[in-house]
A and B are shown apart, each in its own frame.
Chain A
Amino acid sequence: MIETRWTRLLVLGLLIGLLCSLLLWAGTLEADPTRNVFPDEDDFAVDYDAYIGADVETDGTILATNPVVVEVTPDGHEPLELTLTNVDPPTVQEDDQISVFGTLETDATISVTTITVRSPWEFQYMYLVSFLAGLWTLGRFRRHWTLNTDTLSFSPREEP
């Protein structure tokens, strides 16, 4: 079972099809506070007034600190500028990346319940070490495994 090139390609196709249907299904999931999934900028950018008074989560870049203004970029929309209230100004600096949870209010304002703040270099660190981890693992894989192009399968290299 599933040892030749064609059976492997067939099963691979079926599994990728299954994975794609899962991703289509995942696309139908809506924000729903009863499932602890809260509306975000993609929701309130489309119909802001419908979400006034709702608990929302969003993330973005700090543009100004007095008052605190954050730029968030909803999918497929122009960036929005939101004013954050209930934030101590010393906790954020310009260009910081923040994630917030709070209540959406009129006039593009969020009354913040909780906020996490990160400096831009922390993201650069995260992407850099993640990239290095990828290289490390890929290097190990190339050293330890070999592809049989007839059957399209990977096997451990023989011990030297």
Chain B
Amino acid sequence: MPDLLTHALVGYIIATALSFRYGWLTPPWVTVCMMGTFIPDLTKIQLLVPSYRIEQLLGVPFDWFGLHTVGGAAVSVLIGTILVPRGHRRRVLALLAIAAGSHLVLDSLLVSPTGYAAPMGWPLLDSGLPTPGIYLSSDRWPALLSGLLAALLWASTRRDHTRS
């Protein structure tokens, strides 16, 4: 992952940009998009409970990495979607899917010593794709750049708000 701040800011940017076209996309829905960007990093549970601990406990293979894939993210998005009333579900489904997708796309650009990203397309795509290696997860500039863009968008929503 780039840091979660970058992911959340990108979620903010995407949702705010879409809000210029879709009037229903008010701040509560921007928040949904920001939360959706965290979905694949649910895999960081492994920092607290490593996968091998669960394997020892259950006696079967287990890997939290599954959460950081297209398949795991899709099921997580569905879980988020059923937590709202029916009338909100299409919006939540769309926003969470876009957001979780943006996370996997950003992560597929990370520097990797092997030259390949983790196989995040699983189970649709088994292989790790070549990564251009644009940033490390701890680089500062992705958060700076997305923070700047987010601030510009925020300012333009304020301006629209004052006008109307």
Contact = CB atoms under 8 A, between A and B. Distances in A.
Contact of B79 (A19, A27, A134, A151): A19
Contact of B31 (A122, A123, A144): A144
Contact of A37 (B64, B82, B128, B137): B128
B113 A114 contact: yes
Interface residues of A, number: 60
A12 B82 contact: yes
A23 to B, nearest CB: 4
A80 interface: no
B132 interface: no
Interface in B58-79: 60-67, 69, 71-72, 75-76, 78-79
Interface of A: 1-3, 8, 11-12, 15-16, 18-19, 22-29, 34-38, 42, 55, 57, 75-76, 99-101, 113-116, 118, 122-123, 125-126, 129-134, 136-137, 140-141, 144-145, 151-157, 159
B83 A153 contact: yes
B66 A25 contact: yes
A152 B83 contact: yes
B136 A118 contact: yes
19 contacts: A2-B82, A2-B86, A15-B82, A16-B79, A18-B75, A19-B75, A22-B75, A24-B60, A26-B65, A27-B61, A35-B127, A101-B114, A114-B115, A129-B4, A133-B4, A137-B34, A140-B34, A152-B83, A155-B88
